[in-house]
Amino acid sequence: MPDLATALLPALDPAPRPLPEPGERLAAVLAVLVGDDEPDLVFTERAAMLSRHAGEMSFPGGLQDPDDADLLATALRETAEELGVDVPEAAVLGALPAIHTYVSGILVTPFVATVGSLPALTVSDAEIARVVRVPLRELAAIEEQRMLREQNGMTWRGWWYVDGDVTVWGVTGFMVHALLEIVRKEASWAVT
């Protein structure tokens, strides 16, 4: 049985080049898997005072800066700023498909990294309310597709993960679902 990184590597995009729609900004996040046989996925709860997506569960990340060499540099820089952790570039396996956040006008590229353990964190209180680790196996077990009807009669479908006081949905829910689909196909032992 291959290790998790070896199993997932071929299924992820090693050099994503997302094309934003007019007016969209580019951003990147880092989905960090901790451990190999029974990996956890690291989430951050965004601080309540943030102007966008306050209080929501997400992956560490943010908007691309002009000084960032590429979107991977954005994801790694933002993870270091938010969690105080320097994830080595060699730990990054590649990216999931980019996802549009229509509410915010942002095209987000989610990168996936694997680490054996997570060092002590130095969390940015200005951006992060808390950090939560949820076993990948548990996320697979509680995955639920839901529909929301908006006031204008539109229907939105998305993926929800409710675990105690942790609720993952929206764009992050789509990212988790995309990751789980790859894990189910390439590394099913990690979610069964």
179-188 per-position pLDDT tens digit: 999 999 999 9
Q: Alpha helix (H) ranges present in 104-145?
A: 136-142
Query: Residue for token digits 């960032």?
Result: 68
Half-sphere exposure of 94 (CA within 13 A, CB side): 16
7-58 per-position pLDDT tens digit: 999 999 999 999 999 999 999 999 999 998 899 999 998 775 655 555 689 9
Q: Is pLDDT above 70 for 93?
A: yes
| Mean per-residue pLDDT of the chain | 91
Q: What is the pLDDT of residue 126?
A: 80
Bigger pLDDT: 11 or 2?
11
Query: What pTM value is reported for the model?
Result: 0.93
Q: What is the pLDDT of residue 54?
A: 55
Across 143-156, average pLDDT: 80
Question: Could you give the CA distance from residue 83 to residue 187 in angstroms, rounded to a whole number?
Answer: 27
Across 68-82, average pLDDT: 97
Q: What is the pLDDT of residue 55?
A: 62
Q: What is the pLDDT of residue 36?
A: 85
pLDDT grade, residue 127 (50/70/90)?
A: confident
